[in-house]
Structure 1
């Protein structure tokens, strides 16, 4: 309790001197934090212990989104479809059964489950990105009904709010782009007045377009939507509650001696998120950075352990801060003798990629070839694919080679482009690994490389021992 009260007070102190319109915090709880009744009760306790938290953003219960994605991808086998629907009902009914007054929200949850069944049957005949967004959004819609009621039963004056009334996006289903001006205006009109009177419980990950269709911001978009909401209400702080006490030097499941980082800069945390650190969605920090909103990352299971602060300025900026791993990488290599001393070849390549809305993460070039990586950003999961139409257009310019089953390892730090000698230490540690691609120099905060997924964790372990444990 004392640890968390320190955190809460620290957030309050961090807001002093800033011109925030809203003197309250936004707290986001991930899927594991709302997995069951006990987990939701811990969330409610965290909210009780910090009176500055007035806006709560919730993910779907753990495992629910994966089940909904399976249905959205089309399940022709009726028995399997019913099995998934039963699993969804069981997850939510087990929590409902432990509420003091389940009937107050049971009807709303079951209405949503009925709509899932109807949409799942439709998806078994024909899938679409629009139908997928409609389906996968249902997890958040159900969890927030239950969480708000649980909070009310703990004497928290809480109200559920449908974020689709505020979080306006375009109609790019699966990875919708937020419409910032519209969100800001709607939030000031609809959300802020509510937050001044009650604790508002709303959904992450989802929004709506101008037609009223449900959209999603892509997998992991709950953090991003929480940051967008915090920005729109000009919150004093953003809390991201997950299942680990802050950001670590790497994933503790890979390197058991990984240690928590008490404080990290926006730049470092952005690099970690972009390069696969699961604790934050890559886009999360952008809205917070725009409005200088401090971000706290902590464990809803153990809030007394504190967590990691993400700020513009930090006291310590070490050469090596952390290691990140991002798998499901696809590398595309384009080769053509016409590249040699030629003008405009890369412009043509990127014109084709832009035409097909293909995002490029990393790129390296030689005289007659260019290699680039693609990353998954929508709700489909798995490794990203180069669309056949894009491949055919590229093949008119050059040969196209595609390699999958790759992972990206990123070493995150500070002033790396200005430091001498460390590269020898890094690459001597990796001398037994076949590095498929190396990127360095564009940012002073990272050095990254691709290798086969079968050896990626071994590379992380060796680097962590050499750079962080000695």
Structure 2
């Protein structure tokens, strides 16, 4: 294992979006010699362009998308003075994007999609390493696929933890002793040497997995906001930054929609007790939020998280009445289609489930296929409602503190609530509402629970 001084720094798309952002991010690495492993996302906007490219048939539109991607990469390359070695690699990756996109017009293979999507991170790592070298920092780019071994579920691959730990010690750890290594988030490789992706937002997860494998002391998530807030400041003007939160609180916030973290990021950190920091690459001097295993005196209410694009599936069947096996059969069907259920409520003859688009693969394909709906309809009536929003109140001891429901229900009095979940976790109370009611609801909840001193 490495010494206990390694910090893994992950930079999101906005932190590597252009030459100015790259320079600011490189300065953060130069400010602390413990930051020896850097994990980068694709430059801001590139992944969206690549996702669009995976479904394009028109040669004209394909050419325009490739041109837009090339423009983003070449602007950063030009700012570096077009070093010949880096330029050759970027040119090769752009050519590879063109070939893959043309093949995808004929073959809708998910394996081809993953290989195309991976090109964004591969470009970013080259440009970031070159920026570090220009700032006098000894840095190299490393292909994370050498160590990030996954299964073959393209679009949302599952990491193989033992293999990653072994390969990281074998191939990556020796490189970190006297230089900075820049590698890619989001991507991996299966046992057949095919490129895979971990799903949208998987760069955070990649950073935490590598930190776990290498025995790092911290993971730093550098983004465009100065830490985690009590809620989205765009929804509540008085939202406050949080200096520290617990792993449990952070896991709940990430799961229920906090955009600064990928939900799975917390898992490797919890396993190894690795602290996680979230800060702004544009303004690192503002500090940020530390996520720790334990904190002193956690509050009853910590934050309000919002997760959009929710789907509510209601299943109705008289077979449920005094019968056994209905839920088992339902969940077996969902499992066969790789569907993960978020929230569930039941009555005598109804089951209501929420599904989330972030549970889909990296291409953004929908969760509810016609085949799945047909299979469910064989043993129950299925009703689907989309474009709903989950509002989650995150905190501590929520399920065991008298008065919580009263405070929340006072705010919900005029809201059409489609679903409520409370009690399964001591850390959250969730309500499902229509999109048009979210802004006013979050502002009212924040005022009642965080700003009203009489609460």
Partner residue, 1:366: 347
Shift of residue 395 of structure 1? 1.3
**Residue among 151, 159, 164 paired with 2:145:** 164
2:37 is equivalent to residue 55 of structure 1: yes
The 8 Å contact of residues 133 and 173 in structure 1, kept in 2 or not, is answered as yes
The 8 Å contact of residues 330 and 385 in structure 1, kept in 2 or not, is answered as no
Partner residue, 1:304: 285
Partner residue, 1:395: 377
Shift of residue 128 of structure 1? 2.1
Shift of residue 379 of structure 1? 1.2
2:25 is equivalent to residue 31 of structure 1: no
State the secondary structure of the residue aligned to 1:54: strand
Unpaired segments ≥5 residues, structure 1: 1-18
**Residue among 426, 435, 446 paired with 1:444:** 426
Partner residue, 1:428: 410
Residues 157/20 of structure 1: CA separation in 2 closer, same or farther (3 Å cut): closer
Residues 164/22 of structure 1: CA separation in 2 closer, same or farther (3 Å cut): farther
Shift of residue 350 of structure 1? 1.0
Shift of residue 131 of structure 1? 1.2
State the secondary structure of the residue aligned to 2:263: coil
2:161 is equivalent to residue 180 of structure 1: yes
Name the CA distance, whole Å, in 2 between partners of 1:30 and 1:172: 24
State the secondary structure of the residue aligned to 1:257: coil
2:128 is equivalent to residue 141 of structure 1: no
The 8 Å contact of residues 20 and 236 in structure 1, kept in 2 or not, is answered as no
The 8 Å contact of residues 22 and 233 in structure 1, kept in 2 or not, is answered as no
TM-score by length of 1: 0.94
2:368 is equivalent to residue 381 of structure 1: no
2:153 is equivalent to residue 208 of structure 1: no
2:85 is equivalent to residue 104 of structure 1: yes
The 8 Å contact of residues 307 and 391 in structure 2, kept in 1 or not, is answered as yes
Partner residue, 1:262: 243
**1:162-218 CA deviation, whole Å, 9 max, x = no partner?**
000000000000000000000000000111110012100000000000111100000
**1:16-44 CA deviation, whole Å, 9 max, x = no partner?**
xxx97442110000000001000000011
Name the CA distance, whole Å, in 1 between partners of 2:187 and 2:4: 23
For residues 238-253 of structure 1, what are the structure 2 equivalents within 5 Å? 238-253=219-234
Name the CA distance, whole Å, in 1 between partners of 2:3 and 2:326: 49
Name the CA distance, whole Å, in 2 between partners of 1:114 and 1:469: 54
State the secondary structure of the residue aligned to 2:66: helix
TM-score by length of 2: 0.97
Name the CA distance, whole Å, in 2 between partners of 1:338 and 1:83: 54
The 8 Å contact of residues 219 and 274 in structure 2, kept in 1 or not, is answered as yes
Shift of residue 77 of structure 1? 2.0
Name the CA distance, whole Å, in 2 between partners of 1:254 and 1:20: 43
Runs of 4+ in 1 over 4 A off after TM superposition: 19-22
Name the CA distance, whole Å, in 1 between partners of 2:245 and 2:363: 31
Shift of residue 385 of structure 1? 2.9
**1:241-288 CA deviation, whole Å, 9 max, x = no partner?**
000010000111222221100010000000000001000000001001
2:264 is equivalent to residue 283 of structure 1: yes
State the secondary structure of the residue aligned to 1:464: helix
Name the CA distance, whole Å, in 1 between partners of 2:236 and 2:3: 42
The 8 Å contact of residues 328 and 407 in structure 1, kept in 2 or not, is answered as yes
Name the CA distance, whole Å, in 1 between partners of 2:436 and 2:108: 33
Name the CA distance, whole Å, in 1 between partners of 2:82 and 2:389: 48
Name the CA distance, whole Å, in 2 between partners of 1:22 and 1:107: 37
The 8 Å contact of residues 100 and 153 in structure 1, kept in 2 or not, is answered as no
Shift of residue 126 of structure 1? 2.8
**Residue among 192, 196, 218 paired with 1:237:** 218
**Residue among 49, 53, 69 paired with 1:71:** 53
Unpaired segments ≥5 residues, structure 2: none
State the secondary structure of the residue aligned to 1:444: coil
Shift of residue 101 of structure 1? 4.6
The 8 Å contact of residues 339 and 367 in structure 2, kept in 1 or not, is answered as no
Aligned length: 450
**Residue among 95, 106, 125 paired with 2:76:** 95
The 8 Å contact of residues 410 and 449 in structure 1, kept in 2 or not, is answered as yes
State the secondary structure of the residue aligned to 2:269: helix
The 8 Å contact of residues 320 and 414 in structure 1, kept in 2 or not, is answered as yes
The 8 Å contact of residues 201 and 262 in structure 2, kept in 1 or not, is answered as yes
108-117 vs 123-132, which deviates more? 123-132
The 8 Å contact of residues 279 and 289 in structure 2, kept in 1 or not, is answered as yes
Name the CA distance, whole Å, in 2 between partners of 1:457 and 1:116: 40
